[in-house]
Structure 1
C-alpha cells in the first residue's frame, strides 16, 4: 500500500539491506492486489479486509492505534486543542480509505457533534499526514504511519496515545514459498520491525 510504503517501510529498508546485502529489494507501491501465484512478487501487503485465495498465507500485522494528530502549532493560539470539544474550531482532515473515520472516533471518544461534511479529503494517508504537518488541520491516522513525524516533533497527539485499535494491514505470500531463504529473511525482519 502506498502510505505504508512511504511512511513506514521505506525508512526501514536500509536496515534490511544492511543485514541482507545479497538480497535486492524491489518495492512497488500500489493499491492493486498482486498475483502472487505468478511470481509477480514475493509478498503483498494489503490494508483492510483480505479474502483468502488458494495457496496464499495471510498474516495480520499487530493492531494499530488510530489517533488524532496535528501540528504542535494547533496547541496554541486562539483555540488551542485540549479536548475533543476544541475540534469544532479546527479543520478536520479526512482520509477516505481509513478503517476508522472521524464519526467513529468521536463516538469512541464520547466527543461532541461536529460538522463532518467540511474539510479536505484524501485517498492516501501520506497526503493527510503531510497536510497535518503543514498545519492545515487535524488528521486521524494510524500511530504506525506517523512514528517519524511524532519523533521529529512535526506532529503531536493532542489527546494522548490512546485510540481505537484496528487490524489494518496484512502480509500475504505463497505458502509453497514460505521456506525459501529470502522469503524467511524478509518475513522475520518485517515482524521484528513490527515488534512481534
Structure 2
C-alpha cells in the first residue's frame, strides 16, 4: 500500500459508498461514471484492497469497503460541519461571556438587545454559573465574577462601581398592618436571606445593634435574583444590590423603606486574559459595559436621594 492516497479517489469512493451507485456519485461530483470507476480502481490499487464487488451493472461494498466507508463518510461529514462553522464565524464575530446567574438575568440580559443594535456584527454567547470560568482554556473571552478577588495568573480584573446594598420590600408590605418606616420595624417582618452575597443581614445587624432581628428565621436563597423575586412577591424584606434590583425598583415592584440605611461593597469584576484584553471585540464590549454601569450608578445615586421619606 502506498503511504498516500489520492484525495479525488477518496472523494469518489465516499460519494459512491454513500449513494450506492457510481452513476449517482458521478452526477453529484459532476463527472462521468467512468471517471468515478477509474478513481475507485486507483484507490483500490493504492490500498491493495477491493472496496466494491462488481456484479453486472451494480456495485456492492465488500466487508473491508463497508468498514472503510463508515470512517470516510463520517470524516467528510465532519469536514462539511467544520466548513459551515468557519463560514458562519467569518460572517460575524462571536464573543463568549461568562457571568454569575443573578447579574446575567437581572442586569445584563435586559441590555443585550441594545448592545446588538450598536454592534450588529458581534454575536454574544452568554454562559451563567457561580463557578469562575477557566479563561486559559480559550472557550470564554470574558468572565464577570462576583467578589472576584485577585485575578488568576495571566488575567486582569477591572472592578465594577461599588454596589449599594439596601433593605427592599414590596410596597404593600411596607404600607401594610405593620408598616416599615425605620430599621426597628424590621423586627416584625420576615427577613429574606441571600446566602452568597458579600454582606447579609448579620452584617446589617452589627451596624444596627439596637434593632433586634431574628437572624435564624426566614427563607434562604443561593441566588440574589430569587431573593429579589421573593421580595417582589411579598414574602418578606430582602437585603440586596440596587444594581441587581434596578428593574424592580424602577417599575415600583420594590421600594426602599428607609433609604438612608445602606452599605457599599465592591461586588463584581470584569476579568479577561491580559493577552486578549485589547482584542476589538473585548474592548468594545468592555467600553459599552462600563458606560452602562456608569449610567446605572448615576441612577442609583439619584434614586437613593429621592427615596428618603417617599414611602413614609
Provide the residue aligned with 1:134 in structure 2.
Answer: 233
User: Which of 280, 290, 294 is matched with 1:181 structurally?
Assistant: 280
User: Which of 183, 186, 190 is matched with 1:91 structurally?
Assistant: 190
User: Which of 124, 129, 136 is matched with 1:30 structurally?
Assistant: 129
Provide the residue aligned with 2:166 in structure 1.
Answer: 67
RMSD of aligned alpha carbons = 1.3
1:77, distance to aligned residue in structure 2 (A): 2.2
SS in structure 2 at match of 1:6: helix
TM-score, length basis structure 1: 0.96
**Is 2:257 aligned against 1:158?**
yes
Provide the residue aligned with 2:304 in structure 1.
Answer: none
Q: Would you tell me which structure has more helix in proportion to its own residues?
A: 2
Which segment drifts farther, 109-118 or 3-12?
109-118
1:79, distance to aligned residue in structure 2 (A): 0.6
**Is 2:113 aligned against 1:14?**
yes
5+ residue gaps in structure 2? Answer: 1-99, 296-312
Partner Cα distance (1:109, 1:158) in 2: 16
Larger Rg: 2
Partner Cα distance (1:52, 1:43) in 2: 12
Map 1:137-148 onto structure 2 (within 5 A).
Answer: 137-148=236-247
1:106, distance to aligned residue in structure 2 (A): 2.4
Partner Cα distance (1:77, 1:90) in 2: 11
Partner Cα distance (1:164, 1:92) in 2: 17
Partner Cα distance (1:181, 1:155) in 2: 38
**Is 2:217 aligned against 1:124?**
no
Structure with the bigger RCO (C-alpha within 8 Å, sep 6+) is 1
- Contact 2:151-2:271 at 8 Å conserved across structures: no
5+ residue gaps in structure 1? Answer: none
SS in structure 1 at match of 2:269: strand
1:47, distance to aligned residue in structure 2 (A): 0.7
- Contact 1:70-1:137 at 8 Å conserved across structures: yes
Q: Sort the Cα spacing of 1:189 and 1:162 in 2 relative to 1 into closer, same or farther, 3 A.
A: farther
Partner Cα distance (1:137, 1:61) in 2: 28
Task: Give every structure 1 segment of 4 or more consecutive aligned residues whose post-TM-superposition deviation is greater than 3 Å.
Answer: none
SS in structure 1 at match of 2:125: coil
TM-score, length basis structure 2: 0.61
Provide the residue aligned with 2:138 in structure 1.
Answer: 39
- Contact 1:108-1:164 at 8 Å conserved across structures: no
**Is 2:174 aligned against 1:80?**
no
